[in-house]
Amino acid sequence: MVGKYDIEIYNNKVHYFLTVKRNITILQGDSASGKTELIRLIGEYEANGNSSGITIKCDKKCTVLTNVDWVLRLSSLSQSIIFIDETASFLKETKFAEMVRGSDNYFVIVSRDDLALLPYSVEEIYGLRDVSGLSKYNTYKKVYNEMYKLYNLSDVCNKVNPGLVITEDSNSGYEFYKQIYGGNCESAGGKSKVYDRIRNSNKESILAIVDGAAFGPDVGKLMRYLSATGKKCVLFAPESFEYLILKADIIDVPKAVLEETYNYADSNKFLSWEEFYTDFLVQNTQRTVFRYGKAKLNENYKAPKIIDKIKNIMPEQIISSRN
């Protein structure tokens, strides 16, 4: 399944506006913000149709997956947007993660817990907020709700000159960042180890570089820790190292591939956009001097001109930490 989909769900009391564009979207946020009611409305519409007094507008079927025969039901669904409440006991099961991989459905999951088995994006973790007070709604008596990002990491907000640079990657990405940051750069050896590496460091200032396209399960715990301790750490979360290469104009990449990735990264083939960008880069550099491999960085990517191209698309706020 590919594409970006707007969803409207409403009755005479509440009205929801959502947009989904990746295979996994997470709804978190405070209690009583309407997440459970959203799931209830979809389920009631499925059971009773138009007689429920509920309207759903979307180009794809919206459905609710519950504990009842969930494996069988999920196996039968195709080209649908599947909503799952946090009460579903299978959310943290390996079987569910295995069925998400290769599925041609999108999933919208309500969960305040971190779902470690699912590589979802930091950009696709949302809360719901009441926007009834906006001028275009305030003459109506409904409660209007829309999505908002919980973690806006697309830009680095604080300038940093780190005593330590931690990379999620231990292969090509780490090799490249070490060219920029030298001896200050260390690999955490995987996204799940970034948190412990930051927590155990005694450095006063840290820059952590992670693949935002799959770091969603780990970002909440890390941000809560930094907020509670006041530890100085800037999180740089581009989609992936491969995304930076594609964006740096090193090879010819159609503009739409990066700006409208949702139209290219088929959920049936790619579990995350990180996988899509890696595959695209590998396929499009096979017969060039920039042949890419994730395990070891091609020496041509270490050439000064290429390093400068990638550095030029990294945030200005971390420029003081570059060589």
Residues 18 and 120 in one domain: yes
**Is 157 inside a domain boundary?**
no
Confidence band of 256 (pLDDT split at 50, 70, 90): very high
Above pLDDT 70, what percent of the chain?
A: 91
Closest to 321 (Cα-Cα) out of 159, 195, 146: 159
Kindly report the number of other CB atoms within 10 A of residue 306's CB atom: 18
Do 59 and 42 touch, CB atoms closer than 8 A? Answer: no
| 304-311 vs 172-181: helix crossing angle, rounded to 10 | 90
For residue 146, the model assigns a pLDDT of 80
Residues 66 and 206 in one domain: no
Residues 136 and 197 in one domain: no
| Close Cβ partners of 101 (under 8 Å, ≥ 6 residues apart) | 271
pTM: 0.91
Q: Could you tell me the residue range of the domain that residue 193 belongs to?
A: 164-321
pLDDT tens column, 84-112: 999 999 999 999 999 999 999 999 999 98
**Is 159 inside a domain boundary?**
no
Residues 117 and 199 in one domain: no
Q: What is the CATH number of the domain that holds 19?
A: 3.40.50
pLDDT tens column, 274-318: 999 999 999 999 999 999 999 999 999 999 999 999 999 988 777
Q: Point out the domain boundary residue: 149, 178, 203.
A: 149
For residue 262, the model assigns a pLDDT of 98
